[in-house]
Amino acid sequence: MSSLLAFLRELNSLQVNLADVVDILLVTLLLYVLLVLLRGTRAMQMLWGILIIAGLYFFSRAADLITLSTILGNLLAFLPIAIIVLFQREIRSMLAAFGSRTLLRWRSGQDDGSVPLNELALAAQALAAKRIGALIAIERRDSLAAWADTGIPLDAQFSYDLMLNIFIPGTPLHDGAVVLRGDKVVAASCFLPLTTRHRLSSELGTRHRAAIGLTEESDALVIVVSEETGIISLAVEEQLLRPLDETTLRNALAEHALELDVRDNGET
């Protein structure tokens, strides 16, 4: 009881000013944003592993387990370098996502119209019927400018005919991905990052791996049309939805576009 009273007296003696309160709130907000960005990613699983190792280290110190504490202590000494190496993709993605969200998407083309879902689904179905391979990345909240810059800039109004003409085999633009921002075709023949996952079906080719890879780096939606099978797929949040037809593709695109609108309205 006396120790509790002493603690309360010491707590009352502390002088907390406005700067201290703001400092604590900002640190709390920063940690919250980092956890939100890490949620559901491979980085979160690795973070739990690091926390478990740190917990074992402090336990071994408290229990006077000299050998174990020495090994874990040396391991934790290289932790900063290990974090940079292991989390390089996640750090890059978090910085891009954090910048795009905190700056409220200040960028040119902010007044672009909505993605024409009907024409897009019709174009995908037409490409699939002709067994013409296609890869279409739809920008949502996270900017795809870095990947659009790897291709040929178009800045053209989206249309059904334009989509079919871009992916005709043998044309200069057909090999690579198309990047859409609203109702604009930003660029074509773009290179997308390939996923490093090993547990993927052997049926999935480079286009599917590129589609999943982009969803690992951003919140984009990516349509894939297989030239071998004519199957339409939609990559979203590191998952691949397939097989789809015109109707199911349109519904899936509309559903995820609606989810994004709901989140945006909740944050404003």
CA atoms of 217 and 119, how far apart (whole Å): 27
Structure confidence at residue 161 (pLDDT): 92
pLDDT at position 102 is 43
**Which pLDDT belongs to residue 260?**
46
Tell me what pLDDT residue 94 has.
Answer: 61
Ranges of CATH 3.40.1700.10 domains, the chain: 117-267
Question: Which among 130, 144, 133, 139 has a CA at the least distance from the CA of 205?
Answer: 133
pLDDT in tens, the chain (268 residues): 566 566 556 656 656 677 777 888 888 887 777 776 666 556 666 777 788 888 888 888 888 888 888 888 888 888 778 777 766 666 666 666 555 544 444 344 444 556 788 899 999 999 999 999 999 999 988 888 888 888 999 989 999 999 999 998 888 888 889 999 988 999 999 999 888 777 777 777 888 999 999 988 888 999 999 988 899 999 998 888 989 999 999 999 888 875 544 344 444 4
What gap in Å lies between CA 1 and CA 136, rounded to an integer? 68
Which CATH code for domain 117-267?
3.40.1700.10
Rounded CA-CA distance 16/32 in Å is 23
Instruction: Please state at what angle helix 42-62 crosses helix 66-77, rounded to 10 degrees.
Output: 140
Phi/psi at 193 (nearest 5 deg)?
Answer: -70, 135
pLDDT, residue 237, reads: 86
Per the CB < 8 A criterion, the answer to whether 148 and 114 are in contact is no
Which pLDDT does position 189 carry in this prediction? 92
Reduced to 3 states, what is the DSSP secondary structure of residue 24? helix
104 vs 44: CA distance, rounded Å: 25
Give the per-residue pLDDT at 107: 41
* pLDDT at residue 37, rounded to an integer: 62
